[in-house]
Structure 1
Amino acid sequence: MSNTNYFQGASNCPIQNLHLTNPGCSRGLDEAFKHLHKSIAEDSAHNSADRHNAPKCHQDTRKAVQGEIHGWIKDGDDDAEPVKILHLTGPAGTGKTAIAGSIADTCDEKGLLAGSFFFASFAASETRRSKRYLVATLTYHLIFPLNDNHPLRCAILLAVQKDPSIFKRRLKDQFKFLLVKPFSNTRHQFDTSTLPKVFIIDGLDEAEGAHSRQPGRDAHEVRLEKEADQTEILDALLYATNSSTFPFRIIVASRPERVIETFFRDHANHVTRKVFLDDKYDPDSDISLFLKAKFVEIRRRYRLPASWPSEPDIQGLVDNASGQFIYAATVIRFLQSGKLPNPKALLGRLLDPGTAKPSELGALAPLDLLYTRILESSPDPLLAVQWFWVINYVSEWGEGALFVKQLLEDDDGQAEYLLENLASLVSIPPIEDQSQSGYHFYHKSFLDFLSDRSRCGEGIDCAFVAGERLLVERCVKIVLNKSPTATTSESQKRTFLKEFVLFPWLDFMFRSPLSEELGRCDVGWWVHFMVTEVGEDSWDPSTGHSPTSWFLEIHQACPFGAPRDCLPYCKHWRSGTLRAFREWGWNVPNVVALFRAALRPANDLSESDYYSFARYFRARDVPRSSDIPATHSTRYSADEEYEITLDLLSAMFSCLPADWRDRLERSMIRCSFPWCGWTDIIEEIKGGLGIEVPDVPIVRHQDEDDECPNYYSSDSDSDNASEISNT
């Protein structure tokens, strides 16, 4: 190749239409890509393992609606009034998620799918319920298949590199800096027709607020927070599609919830195409096709005659479905998963001619009747419904089916006895997988049914609500017996108890009279178990996963500002905890620290409060081994020393100024929590009562090491006696 320099001596040479491609633009962006990946919800993708059994359209069904949507994706620009958003909506059970999933699969195969996010409120993982993972996930899906040096990929990762906190920003800004601006800035550097065309977002109505499942939250506040998050998602989508250079279409599938319908009507009507799943798309014919195809499989499996079921039977099921594919899918699951392989008999029960006509009962009545009859196939339907309440609660914590069984079973095999005939409603993992995989409900509409007395009836409604009491009963029994009720091996028992102590078992105690039973438990044994079997590294004071958080939570139902009036089980638990830690050679909070804790209602403490209070408990530098015997706090209802401490706390409260609450709140604004500040008043009280123990407030800094000043109470009883004698 010639080395001739054609520009030697040249200057001021204009060059037009120059495009420079940097083959090394991806260098240094690996960390940005990793950061992006950490911020996504992997299980929300249309083809994630979490959705392996998600509903999909049968190959011969929903052709009309799928054809309309595919036509809009490919040729929507040719419409008289082109729009970039398609809202797929319709009543519960009409197949929205199945259609969205099938559309996503087809688009993925054809290279048309830019990204997908399938919200699911029943999923164990928070990531499928929260808005915070949406934009990152869609962005990741878009750039993952692109070449490392693709201009759009590089521009997006540069934005992440420039601002690693982008995923903490509001959704509109995430769309702006991760999708809208990068495409606008790079669209002349590559053939934009090679990009995929559509993002698919399913189950928008199932997106929830970040803390919506915290125990004790007001239901109205939870609903408002949920609606606000859904509105923010829609606002961000509208912002993106309003950009003239934004090339992608967006499909949003949801139930016709008020806040969503209002947004599309009032703010996005001009850019939205609405597809409502009603009779226009002839769901009855599709349901009939689906049922006939599935009955062929059932006949083949059980070697049934070709005449079964009859055409009138199939039509009866179609009529009962009232356009709801979930009804048809649930019928088939019920026939295929019954304890006895007798689908003919089971179908006969579903088609009992004594059933009232759907037109007389409302659109959801056939589905409700189906759920009711399936529940009745359990040998104890009402107890099964109580189990469902617990399963729904426990699933939020990601516990496996084995944990639920050990938590709830009175006898070996009770779970199979109760739930075997209900496998069409709840997925039951195989025995060998139950320690890792949990129960999960096939469809949210079943939980809607259980939660609505007008649909499920008084008996089922009362049973579902009683699930909370069942959970409390089982937790109390386990705490008293230090073991699950059903027989289990020693190793399984130890594994279960390790999971149990890290489960929020105290959350519902304070609303139940059964909480009094905690006054009979062996507190010292549980502290011993937490120290020796679980270990401090697994303790999380902010979530109830430690003895120190139990110490605070057990006080929630006690009268505020009246230490002498603490409930008996609170006295028993707190005195037992302090005694157990002392016997273990730990430092524990002195009377001033307990006074600081009592200045705030136990149910008004923040996460930082829990962490701060935990620092009053510290192990001394002494040998600790599992050979040290567990203490036995059941010998006392509340030990004498703790009773004296309560007397002293009451005396300290009586010395507070009349306006102490206002003054404390003002101090709290400055110091954030009650473990620091306000020392002047506390010193006055100490001086007036002759209290000589130190008050060294906790001041938490993010980078502070774990060494704390010596503000703990002494190990010996004589020190405490001296403290009391000086009052």
Structure 2
Amino acid sequence: MSSPSYFTGAHDFNVSNLTIVNTASPSDLEKAFQHLYDNIAIEAVHNSAERYGAPKCHEDTRKVVQGDIHSWMKDGDDEGDPKKILWLTGPAGAGKTAIMGSVADTCEAQGLLAGSFFFSSFAGSEERRLKRYLVPTLAYYLVIILPPAHPLRCSILTAVQRDPSIFKRRLDYQFTALLLTPYNDTKHRFDPSTLPKAFIIDGLDEVEAVNSRNPGRDPHEVRLANEEDQEDILSALLNATSDPTFPFRIVVASRLERVIQTFFSSEAAHATREIFLDDKYNPDADIALYLRANFAKIRRRYRLPPSWPSAEDIRKLVYNASGQFIYAATVVRFLQSGKRPNPQAVLNAILYRRSQGREIGALEPLDALYARILQSSPDTALAVRWIRVICLVGGRSSVQYPGHFVNLLLQDYEGQPSYLLENLTSLISIPPIEDLTSSYRFHHKSFEDFLRNKDRCGEELSAAFEDPVFFGRRCNDVFLRKSAATRIPESHRTRFLCHLIQEGPGPTFGTPTNFMDSCDVVWWVQFALHELSDQESQECILEWFRSIHVFCPSQSPGECHTQCKHWRGNILRACKGLGWGVPNVVALFREAMYRWVEEAWPLVPRGAFLEGWLHPGIEQLESNDPALRAAVTQYTVDEDYQAALDLVRDMFSHLPTDWEAQLTQETKENLYVPWNGFASVIQKIMQDVGIEEPDVAPSDRWLVDRITVAEHDWDSDVESSD
């Protein structure tokens, strides 16, 4: 017998104060729960078995940043401009995952955690790399922490029962159907303030597209597919939190990948609070504390003295870490592995890079991280070649050329720097394209160490990093064309060339096939004099003259390579034409002797040897020194530079067999020997060869000034080495 119907044929009526109660049977909800469970990535939850041993913050470290996150979760609604998304970011290895793991544990204990998902491209389970498991896993965690009869729990499971295909829908639809709609349907039946506060999502930059690891796939296509899935997740999160009724906050942690950084700085900027793990959070102090705590355990295990390790060892480890907790953690893990009988020997190998064989493995986790990030570039080998140049000209402590200069020097087309390096921002600080002054900067000291060690980075990365011709060829091209490869405004061109000439043409001589003997040297000399200050131009031209000879492939006195002769000969002619003082044959001979035994003259600064002879003329010196005036008027150079080199070679062949020992001994007694000593030997050679040009030394005043500066630099070097 069928149940009676009280509304048969009824129409055109209203029902007031209607409450619809979920009538799904317990068995239906159980089936829905099982279906939900079948579509989650349990390994991605913060307390999963797969994450056993995952990094966590030491109890006394990272207190400030964890406090900031907890405060935002609990009291963020009280802020003047409340945000529902918090983005935790920073350089690779800064400890983001450890912080997120510790925050998740604390939030779980305090009843604040609604769900968690820790993406990982290193994990054994594919589910931790794919976006499709994110929403079901978050919903599942929320379901299991709510009481069995909780209205929100039942509503979520009813949504699964109603549409079993929900897990194959778009992410934004899943957020709405599994979280937002169930909440809005049931929020009047419980106290919303009793709900947990936040979802935690870590490693967003490690999300990968389906089949991204299939053999033969184009790396660029894989990268774009991965980024598309990462953007899909971000858009779904923003869509959910944009609804004013959405009751949860979301913490997202990731590296500074381009697509993620762009999203949070543009369309999600109004809804996002950012925490960047920089020096503001004092990572060095936390790393030192972490190291001391773990070294205490190692001391007890090996019964080492309380003084182990030394304060200097701790200081050096902290310095090497450059804010990277992953560096400190890998060192500790390696020492705790129990496979090395002498902890101090292992520590020394790590600290002073004397590691051999298996000890290279001390930094394997860090090396794997570096390698993986580098491989995210669409052209890893070319990106590493760029990084090498950045090491050479963009990251020196004494001279830091702007990133804009590096870009113009290396790029083949506009936009190439972003194409190559945008996925490496967790390793390198990349200046915005419109920034003409800031330099590239490595976040970690150990990154360059990694690339310089073939045993750590591997054959391919090492070959790219040590490419002997890339930098020289790029410089060579600019010296030939007098401009960058891409079209730039004239003001940018002038600034770019000024930076280039201060770097000098020397490195181009390391390029086996170059056309530096076709360069218009006189044009470059005139450009330097026109665009640089008097002092800068003098130093620049002198450095060209020196460095070109240093990089000359020929090491035989007087037998320079064609390109070396082309540049040095034209520099001398140009300078002489401008009224400069220039070195004569005897001065060039002294330079050749200095180059041959320069290690015996530690107080002679590299690049400064010919400074006493090659400089602006009297009218530019603003000096009334009669001795200097007389000396300058005697400086001459042969019109044929080759003839001068022939004489230098001839003079060298007349040196006594023990000349090096004599010169070294005389230098110990007279610091000015490189410039005015060894006179009797040189005079005899000049007579034998038939050279009538005078052996003119720089002025006494210049020599005193030069030696004083050299002694100061020498003492400073000795002190720093001590």
TM-score (structure 2 length as normaliser): 0.50
* Greater fraction of residues in helix: 2
